[in-house]
Amino acid sequence: MTHVLKEASPIDAKTIDAFRNLDVATVYEASGRKGYVESAIKPAFPGNRICGPAFTVQCAPGDNLMLHKALQRAPAGCVLVANVGGLYEYGYWGGMMAVAAMSRGIAGLAIDGCIRDSVEMAKMGFKVFCRGFSIRGTVKTNLGLINYPVNFGQMTVFPGDLILGDEDGMVVVRAEDAEAVLEKSLKRVAFEEAKSAQLASGVTSVELNDLEKVFGALGLVEEY
């Protein structure tokens, strides 16, 4: 079989750039609440944001060989998205790998597993989302797959899908849906700004969201 496929055609660069400053929660809601990545995968350092097309990596448990191959093949601007076969407690990625990734213009790493050398990576500004940290070393003896669909935080990620992350979590946007989701996200931002202005003027969230009908249907009783 072929272990390493060619990278998927990337999403238009202008579309990716337009996503960079959008909140993950906004994009998730605008996409119809699709693409949720489980919350166990978090930013490795405060303030981390990640955005780019997925370059997917399937590693063997306890083995980071294919991450090294990904570093050789991945194009600038992509996000490495890695599955480690469910054996999380190894340091699959470290500081020297981050140096190599930054030299090639890789936008970051999203790994369903652990990393090490986190302080070093925070200082150099390399973006990482992961399950946690482990000093346990890996081996480099087993082949895996690159640019095949991978399971990532209970979400299937296809090569070229857009990966977004901030301190609230992560979302995956299918490559073919990116432009439509972007348009809906921008409309949602404008809608929420208008609602915020109403709340700031003193309108209650009950009034704004027409919740009296809901309370009435549920039989809410309150004292005055």
CATH number of the domain to which 29 belongs: 3.50.30.40
pLDDT in tens, 131-187: 999 999 999 999 999 999 999 999 999 999 999 999 999 999 999 999 999 999 999
**Residue-number span of the structural domain to which 165 is assigned:** 13-175
Q: Can you give the pLDDT at residue 8?
A: 81
Decide if 136 is inside a domain.
yes
Total-model pTM = 0.94
Decide if 154 is inside a domain.
yes
Q: Can you give the pLDDT at residue 7?
A: 84
Decide if 152 is inside a domain.
yes
Could you give the C-alpha distances from 82 to 28, 145, 172, 209, in angstroms and in order?
21, 10, 14, 40
Decide if 147 is inside a domain.
yes
Q: Can you give the pLDDT at residue 142?
A: 97
Q: Can you give the pLDDT at residue 117?
A: 97
Domain count, the chain: 1
Q: Can you give the pLDDT at residue 135?
A: 98
Q: Can you give the pLDDT at residue 166?
A: 97
Q: Can you give the pLDDT at residue 53?
A: 97
Decide if 27 is inside a domain.
yes
Residues of the chain with pLDDT under 50: none
